[in-house]
Amino acid sequence: MGVRGTLSQGAALLAVCASVLVGCSTLLDPYLDKESSYSPPPRPMTYPPHLPSERSPDSVERDVTLQALEREPQEQRVFELEEKAPPAIEAEEPSVVISLLNTADQQFRHQEYEAAAATVERALRISPRSTQAYRRLAEIRIQQGRYSAAEQMARKALLYVVRARNPQSLVLRNQLWTIIANAREGLGDHQGAADARQNIR
């Protein structure tokens, strides 16, 4: 065996070792997923956002997935993340917003729906992600028979509901899904309403 032979043998050995090491590291590294224990979520449920009565004839509408809105955070993470995304914690509403929403509630009780909506919008200008404000707008639209608008407001509120699994956010989520179900009933979409109610825990 000459120098070349030794070298090629050495290279082969090195290659073997390297691949073993890579393989080992793959097995041993706790930051890799354990594919066998991870079960992918069911295929996202798509819901057509526009029912036949509202579909505009000349635009290509695309289904919007709602799965993203309703999915609850996994108990078991796929892998440990060193840095979590900042949770969208709903800060306490500033007192001015609470005061405005109280006024809106009064107007709502007196069936002054448009005035109530204007008051809620004032609150939203101050606190643009207030889920309580969007929820009220959704309820006002239900009262006014504007069902598709009601659903859209409720969807916007759902987006901003706290990620964490605390009781208040759960209550709010259920309220919002109820509003969506009612809105769909109002439009005569019973299947859609049933789908929405499935998300109520």
Contact footprint for other proteins (CB under 8 A)? 18, 21-22, 25-26, 29, 31-33, 40-41, 49, 59-60, 62, 64-66, 68-69, 71-74, 77-79, 81-88, 94-96, 99-100, 114-115, 117-119, 121-122, 124-126, 128-129, 137, 149, 152-153, 155-156, 159-160, 163
Exposed e or buried b for every residue in 22-61, given b needs 16+ CB within 10 A? eeeeeeeeeeeeeeeeeeeeeeeeebebeeeeeeeeeeee
Q: How far is the CB of 174 from other proteins (least distance, A)?
A: 16
Closer to other proteins by Cβ: residue 2 or 10: 10
CB of 153 to other proteins, least distance (A): 7
Vertex 150: Cα angle to 46 and 88 (nearest 5): 70
- CB closer to other proteins out of 3 and 80: 80
Minimum CB distance to other proteins smaller for 110 or for 125: 125
Bridge pairing between strands 46-47 and 64-65: antiparallel
User: Considering beta carbons, is residue 2 or 30 the nearer one to other proteins?
Assistant: 30
DSSP class per residue in 135-157: HHHHHHHHHTT-HHHHHHHHHHH
DSSP 8-state class, residue 63: -
